[in-house]
Amino acid sequence: MTTDPKPASGSAGQRVLMVGGAMRSGTTVIHRALCTAANSNPYISESWFLHDIMNLYKWNLSRYEVRSADQFGSVNNFNELIRFNVQQYLTIVSARYQDPEVLILKHPELTRHFPELAAMFPAMLFLAIVRDPRDVIASIREAADKHVRDGIVSPVSRLGSIEDLCGHYLSYYDRLLRLAARLGKRLRFVRYEDVMREPHKTIAAIGAFAGADYDPEAAKSFSEEHAASSNFNKELRLKDPLSGAFWSDLYTKDLSPERIGRFGERLGADEVAQIQSLLANIGARFNYW
């Protein structure tokens, strides 16, 4: 006799959906829309704790024999410690929002950790958002230019060349695409463009995948009632030059296709051609060119 794996959750039967994707691929806007579900938590800020602990986990594994073997013995013991801390995080966050049927969390940088989280939590669900690399790279460059202007050294301010930017974009998806079979039906890729052009259809499909209950018009529309975070306070965000560089006015607008295909405003023809060459597999895989 077999039983279903114990879910990662704060309450019995709860589903946990992790949302990721490259930075500037629309993860915030789409997370905001997904958190309008009648049976989910409201929109909350990015899951920095998970980001930090999963980075710590991978870094320690890379030097396990030197740093940790004498303390934990088997790597499985260390894995269980990390799993326990992630589970506690999920429990605490879930309880804060009355243990919704679907807990929806997001951080772009967690996309690189989806395979590890999937191994730790056999019932966790994953949504990877993909956006046209040309638009993503144009948007990253815009944020990087603001950091350089303000004298801020950041991961994006160091991305100088198109080759660097393409490598950064690919770093979110390359390993996940190679390991997608391990996650099976628990992983969905969704294109930003499809959400913006056909929000009712696309969000309904995500709802069916995650067990989230959506009012199509509410999911499409921006409302401060759907957020429990100050992330959508433009004045507050712009006071912090590091975070403010990533602000988008789309955060507080209804879903729309207005930002699709705007890369030509910031990228030259030679740069576009270079992106299309370096990321040809992504372009073909997701039908961008």
Token pair recorded at residue 43: 């929109």
* Average confidence (pLDDT) over 240-253: 71
Distance CA 100, CA 98 (A): 6
pLDDT averaged over every residue in the chain: 90
Report CA-CA distances (Å) from 102 to 10, 14, 17, 48, 125.
10, 6, 7, 19, 10
CA torsion sign, 224 to 250 to 139 to 195? positive
Model-wide pTM > 0.85: yes
56-82 tens-digit pLDDT: 999 999 999 999 999 999 999 999 999
Q: Which architecture does CATH list for 15-285?
A: 3-Layer(aba) Sandwich (3.40)
Q: Are 134 and 275 in contact (CB under 8 A)?
A: yes
Q: Quick check: 237 pLDDT over 80?
A: no
- Mean pLDDT over residues 82-103, rounded? 97
Contacts of residue 160, defined as CB under 8 A and 6 or more positions apart, other chains included, come to none
pLDDT at res. 235: 76
In angstroms, the CA 180 to CA 58 distance is: 19
State the Cα–Cα distance between residues 271 and 103, nearest whole angstrom. Answer: 40
> What type of residue is 110?
L
* Chain-centre distance for alpha carbon 40: 17
Report the candidate in 131, 169, 155, 141 with the shortest Cα–Cα distance to residue 268. 141
The residue extents of the domains of the chain are 15-285
pLDDT digits (tens, 9 = 90+) for 162-211: 999 999 999 999 999 999 999 999 999 999 999 999 999 999 999 999 99
Task: Give the pLDDT band of residue 239 (cuts 50, 70, 90).
Answer: confident
Tell which residue, 176, 44, 165, has the closest CA to residue 107: 44
